[in-house]
Amino acid sequence: MERGPEAADVDLPTKYQPANVEGRLYERWVSAGYFGADAARRPDAPSYSIVIPPPNVTGSLHMGHALDHSIQDALVRRRRMQGYETLWVPGMDHAGIATQNVVERELAKEGLSRHDLGREAFVDRVWKWKAESGGRILGQMRRLGDSVDWSREAFTMDDRRARAVRTIFKRLFDDGLIYRAERIINWCPRCLTALSDIEVEHAEREGELVSIRYSDDLVVATTRAETMLGDTAVAVHPDDDRYKHLVGTEVELPLTGRRIPIVADEHVDPAFGTGAVKVTPAHDPNDFEIGRRHDLPSLSVMDERGVITAPGPFQGLDRFEARPAVVAALREDGRIVKEVRPYLHAVGHCQRCQTVVEPRVSLQWFVKVAPLARAAGDAVRDGRTAIHPPEMAPRYFEWVDNMHDWCISRQLWWGHRIPVWYGPDGEVVCPGPDEEAPAGWTRDPDVLDTWFSSALWPFSTLGWPEEGADLARFYPTSVLVTGYDILFFWVARMMMFGLYAMDGVVPFEAIALHGMVRDQNGKKMSKSFGNVVDPLDWIDRYGADATRFTLLRGANPGGDVPVAEDWAQGSRNFCNKLFNATRFALMNGAHVRGDLPAELTTVDAWILSRLQTVVADVDGYLESYEFAKACETLYHFAWDEVCDWYVELSKVQLNDHRADATRRVLGEVLDTLLRMLHPVIPFVTEELWTTLTGAETVVTAAWPAVDGARADKAAEATVESLQRLVTEVRRFRADQGLKAGQRVAAALEWGDSPLVAHEEAVRSLLRLTVPAEGFTATASLPVEGAVVRLDTAGAIDVAAERKRLEKDLAAARKDAAQTRGKLGNEAFMAKAPEAVVAKNRGRLAQAEADIARLESQLAALPAG
């Protein structure tokens, strides 16, 4: 590390070690209360609030979480620095099915089931598990640097959220928007509970398509032969001439002896298969609707575990055992028209346990979503809530405009129990949270879908249903940050309940959607692929800052984010580069005391001018959630312009009369740069900024503002010219195999070039010594209006350099000839737009300049 003549003692280690910094700084931030929000504080300050998408209590930090939290933290930290009263609410979701499964597996190790404990004892056991083992992710959020207000930590099953659930259920019930009915629902035979549509994952699976003859005139095809035992009709299209004569008649159902009707229904596609379909209302959602239209009975032939209950030879078989058995029986009966053949189709699986879902008629509780979904769509259409990026809005509308009634009951013990009681004569009552149920009445045994309570998150975490200061100050929340993959799971439900509970006020003003984290080849991360990356592993090896920067540098609105370990290493190197540059500056007296100098050198004016452009660009990118562009801008400014150019140029100025001014400018640049980087890489910036400024923390420091008076295009042009000169000579040196630090004698002929004032800097950057008496140049480079004559005798391969220059000259001459030909072509000049003509003229001028430069360089080479 170079030290200037007035180097100072610096309270920074020689090497940055994230593990020695991050935990210490985070605990200091929390203890100091920097992340706390106060609704009564600074009433004139603008407010900014985010509720964290609550991770499951069973979960641990994965790359998707790390991306989501890094985005939210960057937004919150920037707004905090901008003077907003900021609130970022942490918390967890009780994850009904997942959590119950975890605890049931623990019980199984003890040879017990939940039924052995009973409901009350089992729920107590789950709460005990939550206290001892749940919520690991909250500690992992600290590792990442989440600046949440920990004093407001919420849980979807805590007392305040329970009160909110009871309140909104009662209101929906009284308004006729919650009802109980027998409907066909998604059922998990493993979890033994109903599932909503969004809890079912569909995947392409190869099944077996069987064609079965029901009569001489009717053949149907199915992939689920076992369900034919529950058929209650065969349906055809009313306009299908092949079957019009059969509509209204009956056919005997094979293997059963039952007779079932043939009905006409427009749902049937006459072009698909034979145009005749079996109707099993109890085991298929489309068939269920056909059954309702034609008043068909629903005959269930399976129990809750997917075991056949229909009397006969298949009774007691699992559904997947029954399928080949039924096909074999049909074949024996001569009913198989075509042999079984492979058939690729979408099969629904339980999101939690991946068991194949079974459609099943069941008595369940539903939310009537039509009016709620309509309001949720209108809120986005009229601009009350904006979706970023806008091209994601059609996907939102497709969901809310076609939403089915939401099945909200779950056959679990862990969750918010449905607040409905039944009387001895079938009476039903839904008391509010402050009302008692009638004595002796029976409470509904089911619990609510987990998404029901999390749909209240934006306002239940602010104290609703009470009208308190938090709700008044921080609702609606400013932005919801979430992956596009749960746009339907959660976002639509929060919109519906927020608008309903808060009298038409949206739950968030903006929805910022990001993509999924993928590997460097764009492949989805999966354990089966062996490409899953643990963010905690990266944090351990490279630091939280490097992990965050890697993710945010790839975060474009709505786009997937590829990551690779070498990118994390590059982010760590960036943090180290920043650390080393700041340490150098401090060792050489950089500071932020007093005003900037009135008189600036061209180099100092250039970096301050560039700094203003960067501040403006980064501000714009962050406002539009374009984190990748913001990070890329900051990265290149910090590495390329500050570290690689300004720090190097400042070394010359720090050794002469310009030192005091340069120390102040160097301090200013680093002060502003570290503040801009803080929302993205909070730990290293805190360590460096507090050392540089002596202030308490950068967490609450002012966000940089653009100072238009610092714009200096003339200084920028001069330094850009200097950079081109240095880059060209460096390229020449590299081509000749000269080491970067090798000193070479050179004469500099400036002519009228304004760069003459920067000769000392040019010599320093290029390792050029002042030639001694008798100097003879062996190479000459005309560049930027100057000529650099170097004595490279014995240091360069003259033949190789001549060959390179001749190759470049031939390419330049060819380019000039082609462009000159275009401009001399009357037909081209008559048809080409003026912009194209101007571009070609510029290209010709550049080619001619290159020719002159290369010819001069060739002429300057030694003979031989």
Question: Per residue in 60-116, pLDDT tens?
Answer: 999 999 999 999 999 999 999 999 999 999 999 999 988 998 999 999 999 999 999
pLDDT for res 4: 42
> How many angstroms separate the CA atoms of 103 and 118, rounded?
14
Number of residues that this document lists for the chain: 864
Give the residue, 172 or 488, on which the prediction is more confident.
172
pLDDT for res 203: 78
- Cβ atoms of residues 152 and 329 within 8 Å: no
pLDDT for res 796: 66
The predicted-structure confidence for 424-456, as pLDDT tens digits, reads as follows 998 999 999 999 999 999 999 999 999 999 999
744 token code pair: 């070479």
pLDDT band (50, 70, 90) for residue 204? confident
> How many angstroms separate the CA atoms of 351 and 729, rounded?
61
Read off the amino acid at residue 634.
L
> How many angstroms separate the CA atoms of 517 and 548, rounded?
12
CA dihedral 497→498→503→504, nearest 10 degrees, is -100
Q: Where are the alpha helices (H) located in 502-646, listed in sequence order?
A: 535-542, 544-552, 565-587, 602-623, 627-636
pLDDT for res 1: 39
The answer to whether the peptide bond before residue 476 is cis (omega within 30 degrees of 0) is yes
CA distances from 250 to 234, 286, 431, 809 (A): 9, 21, 49, 90
Crossing angle between the packed helical segments 682-693 and 544-552, to the nearest 10 degrees = 120
User: Does residue 773 register a pLDDT over 90?
Assistant: no
pTM of the model as a whole: 0.85
Name, in order, each residue with C-beta under 8 angstroms of 408's C-beta and a sequence gap of 6 or more: 178, 196, 364, 365, 366, 367, 448, 449, 452
> How many angstroms separate the CA atoms of 836 and 833, rounded?
5
Of the spans 13-17, 93-97, 143-147, which averages the highest pLDDT? 143-147
Mean pLDDT of 608-634: 97
pLDDT for res 855: 85
- Cβ atoms of residues 768 and 744 within 8 Å: yes
Beta strands 508-514 and 386-388: pairing type? parallel
* 305-309, 571-575, 792-796: least confidently modelled range: 792-796
- Cβ atoms of residues 683 and 25 within 8 Å: yes
pLDDT for res 344: 67
382 token code pair: 């009229």
- Cβ atoms of residues 127 and 90 within 8 Å: no
* 153-162, 316-325, 773-782: least confidently modelled range: 773-782
User: Does residue 3 register a pLDDT over 60?
Assistant: no
Half-sphere exposure of 832 (CA within 13 A, CB side): 16
Mean pLDDT of 235-263: 93
Mean pLDDT of 679-704: 98
307 token code pair: 């075991």
pLDDT for res 860: 65
3-class DSSP state of 789: strand
Q: What's the 3-state SS for 481-510?
A: EEEHHHHHHHHHHHHHHHHHHCCCCCCEEE
Mean pLDDT of 825-851: 89
Please report the domains of the chain, with CATH numbers, ordered by start residue.
193-359 (3.90.740.10), 544-711 (1.10.730.10), 797-864 (1.10.287)
What is the average pLDDT score of the chain? 92
Beta strands 428-429 and 409-410: pairing type? unpaired
Q: What's the 3-state SS for 505-516?
A: CCCEEEEEEECC
Mean pLDDT of 49-63: 93
User: Does residue 5 register a pLDDT over 60?
Assistant: no
- Cβ atoms of residues 549 and 574 within 8 Å: yes
pLDDT for res 526: 74
Q: What share of the chain is helix, strand, coil (3-state, %, to 5)?
A: 45, 15, 35
Positive/negative CA dihedral, 324, 329, 334, 335: negative
CA dihedral 156→159→162→167, nearest 10 degrees, is -130
pLDDT for res 345: 67
> How many angstroms separate the CA atoms of 576 and 16, rounded?
6
Max Cα–Cα distance, the chain, nearest Å: 118
> How many angstroms separate the CA atoms of 386 and 381, rounded?
9
3-class DSSP state of 578: helix
814 is in an annotated binding site: no
- Cβ atoms of residues 313 and 328 within 8 Å: no
Q: How many CB atoms are closer than 10 A to CB 476?
A: 20
User: Does residue 813 register a pLDDT over 80?
Assistant: yes
Read off the amino acid at residue 523.
K
816 token code pair: 């000039």
In 663-785 the beta strands, taken as DSSP E runs, fall at 744-749, 768-769, 779-783
The predicted-structure confidence for 342-389, as pLDDT tens digits, reads as follows 666 677 888 778 888 888 888 999 999 999 999 999 999 999 999 999
The predicted-structure confidence for 705-763, as pLDDT tens digits, reads as follows 999 999 999 999 999 999 999 999 999 888 777 888 889 999 999 999 999 999 999 99
Would you give the distance in Å from CA 159 to the centre of its chain?
31
- Cβ atoms of residues 846 and 838 within 8 Å: no
* 21-25, 521-525, 711-715: least confidently modelled range: 521-525
- Cβ atoms of residues 636 and 676 within 8 Å: no
Positive/negative CA dihedral, 792, 794, 797, 802: positive
CA distances from 409 to 87, 167, 768, 829 (A): 33, 17, 79, 74
pLDDT for res 337: 86
Query: In which residue are the tokens 């406002």 written?
Result: 623
Name, in order, each residue with C-beta under 8 angstroms of 191's C-beta and a sequence gap of 6 or more: 97, 100, 101, 350, 352, 353, 355, 412
Name, in order, each residue with C-beta under 8 angstroms of 39's C-beta and a sequence gap of 6 or more: 85, 468, 469, 470, 472, 473, 474
- Cβ atoms of residues 560 and 525 within 8 Å: no
- Cβ atoms of residues 575 and 22 within 8 Å: no
The predicted-structure confidence for 537-560, as pLDDT tens digits, reads as follows 999 999 999 999 999 999 988 888
pLDDT band (50, 70, 90) for residue 862? low
Q: What's the 3-state SS for 107-151?
A: HHHCCCCHHHHCHHHHHHHHHHHHHHCCCHHHHHHHHHCCCCCHH
> How many angstroms separate the CA atoms of 742 and 732, rounded?
13
> How many angstroms separate the CA atoms of 130 and 414, rounded?
12
Q: How many helices (H) and strands (E) does the chain have?
A: 28, 29
Read off the amino acid at residue 110.
E
- Cβ atoms of residues 852 and 809 within 8 Å: no
